[in-house]
Amino acid sequence: MIEAKELIRLVKVYNPKTNYKLINKAFEYSRSMHTGQSRRSGEPYFSHPVAVAAILTEQRLDDASIVTALLHDTLEDTKSTFSEVEKSFGSEVAGLVDGVTKLTNLQLNSTETKQAENFRKLFMAMSKDLRVILVKLADRLHNMRTIKHMTPEKQIKKSIETMDIFAPLAGRIGMHWMREELEDLAFRVLNPDARNSIIRRFITLQKETGSVVPKITKDIKTELSKSELNSDVYGRAKKPYSIWRKMEEKKQGFSQLSDIYGFRIITDKEDDCYKALGIIHQRWTAVPGRFKDYISQPKSNGYHSIHTTVSGRDGTQVEVQIRTREMNDVAETGVAAHWAFRDGIRVENPFTLDPSRWVDAMNERIEQADDHDEFLEHVKLEMYTDQVFCFTPKGEVVKLPRGATPLDFAYAIHTRIGHSCVGAKVNGIRVPLWTRLRNGQSVDIVTADGQKPQPTWKDIVVTGRAKAAIRRSLREEHRDRFVKLGRELVRAAFEHIGKRSTEKALSIAAKELNLQDATSLLELVGSTELSSKDVVNAIYPDLVEKSRLDGPYSKRSVIGLPKGVQIKRSRCCLPLPGERIVGIKHRGDGVFVHSIDCGSLVEIDSESDRWVDVHWDTGKHLATNTVTLNLTIVNDSGVLGRLCTLIGEQRANISDLHFIDRKPDYFRILVDVDVSDSEHLHTIMVAIEADSYVAALERHKDVELKPK
């Protein structure tokens, strides 16, 4: 662990005018607060905040950030208080420490609803002061560097969280070096065999070809020096995780990858970048389709650079990045460059974007998002995807995530253009709307009056903006029908557990699900974006599971049971009156009824003492027996509504409905239907199969759901 003098020396390297007394005070205060605390490695806990502060000095951050790093765990893990920190170190530092503490308490890998809410809090905290996330990222980096001291379970949990949240976030704010290291540290935990395999291949490759990096670096320097171009050249092998990801994306083996080595040319001026590019392309053969100019078209996080891939020494393909020193500062530190100091003065870097722009844009989307799913979609699109740059016919640039389609392009221009889109031309050639766009393409959208968004469009677009606009349009167009259908589905779901779907109950359910009102809830259920079971579960979670799976029968339903024994339908086959059945004893749970042909009975074929000879009562049964139907239906307007009406005409209720596959031309859905007996089910299935819009139908059984 470094001492206060060494930490202050690291700060003075880039900020000679640092308030070293404040840093020393924070150092001693934090040490005293953490006295007696240890890390899992056995080291004093205080070594952690000091290491986090040292990481921030590498990014040349201001005094407030360094002090915050030293204090970042005091509010959560010691007797220190906010007012005490504020009194000793000022309101700026206290606010930052409080912000980091709140981020630490967010469970970012929980359920989607909770995750969306925590992401909202994350972006709200970032909007107040982005330095909060810089300290938190440094905190996570040091924890990942020392993760081997955690339990295996915690290592996996932290690594998944790092790979899903913190690494993409670091990349999104321009801190690519941190993203790469976080990814590789997590990769070491999550897939050690794959990582070790790649490292072994590197070692073998070096034995066969020698050390390639110094040789190619020397070659590049020699060519640049001939033109008297002042520059620095650096080379390195790419990180194991970066290579593994390329292998997965391209479905290629290690030996087939072309650019496992990367080289960087740093120049003084922007003009020199293009001169260096010309020199490289004159000397080596450029690989077609592997050129990107992020200087003329920078990434949205402020990244500027030229990327090209060439065939170098002995035919080895290598990636070359070319940028100026100022561009490199931004590329290395991302938004941290906004607070960077040099010689005691805040550095004014012309390539540094205002870090609040992206956060403000995300907070704006928070307000616009209709529900937590839509907001999570926005977050993932912003954090997890690279971008492509396409042009309008007038030459204007439109930035889209990788995998975007002409429909996404249309909605990016204006919602009205998206709604009225009937076709698209890419580079002057007519293409389908589901075509994936590539960098540099010119896109011309063809529109027509009277055109409206189609349900299949939701599966074509990838951007949150387009998806939200299409959903809103479809809801508005079919709002009344969706509300009516939703009300019927919810009514049946409530009746299934013996409750009524009153307006008050619907309003409470809407509030629990973070929806505006009961009408919005019914609309989502009718459009199948929300399950009626989820609505009931929001108010009566215990009743839903009990009714769905283990609802007891009356004593008269099944004949042959010992006196006083409770009977339950097995979850795996959900047998119906009229079918041949067998009872299986389960210790403490009574007897579960299975269909005689249930696949799960094979496992207990030899346990004859558990088998009970039972059969259904021949009397009339109520329509309270749930079965699940697996349907494939044509994806067309009104088909789902007709299906629900058809089932209703057979005197049966739909208690739940779940989409398992959505395609442009068909849907696959699981429908829970309440029937009285096997004859009733047969009548329903015959009526459904007769509908021309139903492509396939079968009764769904799940052996995995057998009673334990």
List residues with catalytic annotation: 76-77
Please provide the DSSP assignment of 179-248 as one string.
Answer: HHHHHHHHHHHH-HHHHHHHHHHHHHHHHHH--HHHHHHHHHHHHHHHTT--EEEEEEEPPHHHHHHHHH
Q: Can you tell me which residue has the tokens 């699981």?
A: 670
630 φ/ψ angles, rounded to the nearest 5 degrees: -105, 110
Question: What element of type H or E holds 320?
Answer: strand 317-324
Sign of CA dihedral 202, 205, 209, 210: positive
Question: What element of type H or E holds 51?
Answer: helix 47-57
Question: What element of type H or E holds 595?
Answer: strand 590-595
Bridge partners (DSSP) listed for residue 263: 235, 320
Residue 19, token pair as written in the block: 């308030």
74-90 burial, b if ≥16 CB within 10 A, otherwise e?
bbeebebeeeebbeebe
**Nearest alpha-carbon partner for 387 in 592, 171, 615, 109:** 171
User: Which amino acid belongs to residue 173?
Assistant: I
Q: What angle do CA 98, 126, 66 make, to 5 degrees?
A: 55
Cα–Cα distance measured from residue 276 to residue 230, given in angstroms and rounded to the nearest whole number: 10
Residue 25, token pair as written in the block: 């005070």
Contact between 123 and 366 under an 8 Å Cβ cutoff? The reply is yes
Cα–Cα distance measured from residue 548 to residue 396, given in angstroms and rounded to the nearest whole number: 56
Q: How many CA atoms lie within 13 A of 598 on its CB side?
A: 31
Cα–Cα distance measured from residue 403 to residue 408, given in angstroms and rounded to the nearest whole number: 10
DSSP 8-state assignment for residue 435: P
**Nearest alpha-carbon partner for 409 in 359, 369, 379, 447:** 447
If you count them, how many residues does the chain have?
708
Residue 229, token pair as written in the block: 């171009």
